Amino acid sequence: MKRLLAGLVASCFLPVAASATSIGAGAFGASAIIESFEGVVVGLNVRQSPFANIVEPGLLGNYTFGSGITLTSPVPNPGTMSNGAFVHDFSLPAGASNGWGANGSVASATDVPFGTAYLGAFDNLHGATVPTSFALDFATDVLRAGAYVAGAAGATVRIDVYGALGNLLESAQVATVPVSAWKTNFLGIESTSGIRRVVFSGVDFGIDGLAFESSGGIVPVSEPSTMVFVLVGLIGLSAAGRRTRRLRPPQPRQS
């Protein structure tokens, strides 16, 4: 009986099974950090593209944005026209616009959901018909992450999230939308296993308003429940009963 009770008590303290699920923008709370990709300056690790308002971070190695999230692939960045990631920032001198067919064109800051810039990728060498991607890493595990996405008409954008050991936790995807609806098209995942990397991929796409949050912990452990205290009490009563029987004086025999 004691072994059974002890086993039941121990089982009440086991960690809750980790899970992952697709989420919307409403899943984020006040502690969420938002990256909108402004403020990238040309320098040793940022190349100026042939277009004045497009820059290419990660020229020499990993590039960390102001929010603390780091572009880790493709690094070194092969460039906008060669399957590389780019920041299209309309606060810079006039340059290129980005056409997504029937979904419209990103031609000014008014076409960007948040601020003046977004992070994008496409493979111009293959006519923007094959998927391309970029990876962003967090300094520590986060509980949830996602971004507003848009891209070429008739395509999809995919998100894959990975744990600290490089293990794939979950994937999700959404169809692209017109530029005018970009601010409504959120793609995100929450995982109690802890997200360390997000990879976005698509044929020709951009992301903005990337949000991440570690509020709520990563792998919650169940707190002792009422059943635990009941079981502990039963074990205590059982032990007390045995002690009482051992200490009871012998009873006189009746003739």
Instruction: Give Cβ neighbours of residue 226 (< 8 Å, ≥ 6 apart).
Output: none
| For residues 140-148, average pLDDT | 98
101-110, 131-140, 210-219: lowest mean pLDDT where? 210-219
User: What band does 218 get if pLDDT is binned at 50, 70 and 90?
Assistant: very low
Instruction: Please provide the average confidence, as pLDDT, over all residues in the chain.
Output: 84
Per-residue pLDDT, 38: 97
State pLDDT tens for residues 88-122: 999 999 999 999 999 999 999 999 999 999 999 98
Per-residue pLDDT, 254: 53
User: What band does 251 get if pLDDT is binned at 50, 70 and 90?
Assistant: low
Query: Between 82 and 114, where is the model more confident?
Result: 114
- With helix as H, strand as E and coil as C, how does the chain read? CHHHHHHHHHHCCCECCCCEEEECHHHCCCCCEEECCCCCCCECCEEECCCCCEEEECCCCCEECCCCCEEEECCCCCCHHHCCEEEEECCCCCCCCEECHHHCEECCHHHCCCCCEEEEEECHHHCCCCCEEEEEEEEEEEEEEEEEEEECCCCEEEEEEECCCCCEEEEEEEECCCHHHHHHCEEEEEEEEEEEEEEEEECEEEEEEEEEECCCCCCCECCCCHHHHHHHHHHHHHHHHHHHHHHCCCCCCCC
State pLDDT tens for residues 50-70: 999 999 999 999 999 999 999
95-109, 190-204, 222-236: lowest mean pLDDT where? 222-236
Alpha-carbon gap, residue 40 to 50, rounded angstroms: 16
Alpha-carbon gap, residue 17 to 195, rounded angstroms: 15
| For residues 142-150, average pLDDT | 98
| For residues 180-200, average pLDDT | 98
Per-residue pLDDT, 227: 41
Alpha-carbon gap, residue 211 to 103, rounded angstroms: 24
Alpha-carbon gap, residue 21 to 11, rounded angstroms: 26
User: What band does 80 get if pLDDT is binned at 50, 70 and 90?
Assistant: confident
| For residues 233-244, average pLDDT | 48
Q: Encoding tokens for residue 121? A: 């990728």
Whether pLDDT at 226 is above 50: no
User: What band does 224 get if pLDDT is binned at 50, 70 and 90?
Assistant: very low
Burial class (CB in 10 A: 0-12, 13-18, 19+), 153: middle
Give me the residue spans of the domains in the chain.
1-16+221-246, 18-213
| For residues 146-161, average pLDDT | 97
* Residue 62 to residues 72, 94, 247, Cα–Cα distance (Å): 5, 27, 73
- Percentage above 70 pLDDT, the chain: 76
Going by C-alpha positions, the residue among 19, 53, 77 that lies closest to residue 218 is: 19
Per-residue pLDDT, 236: 52
**Is 18-213 in CATH node 2.60.120?**
yes
Does the predicted TM-score (pTM) go above 0.85? no
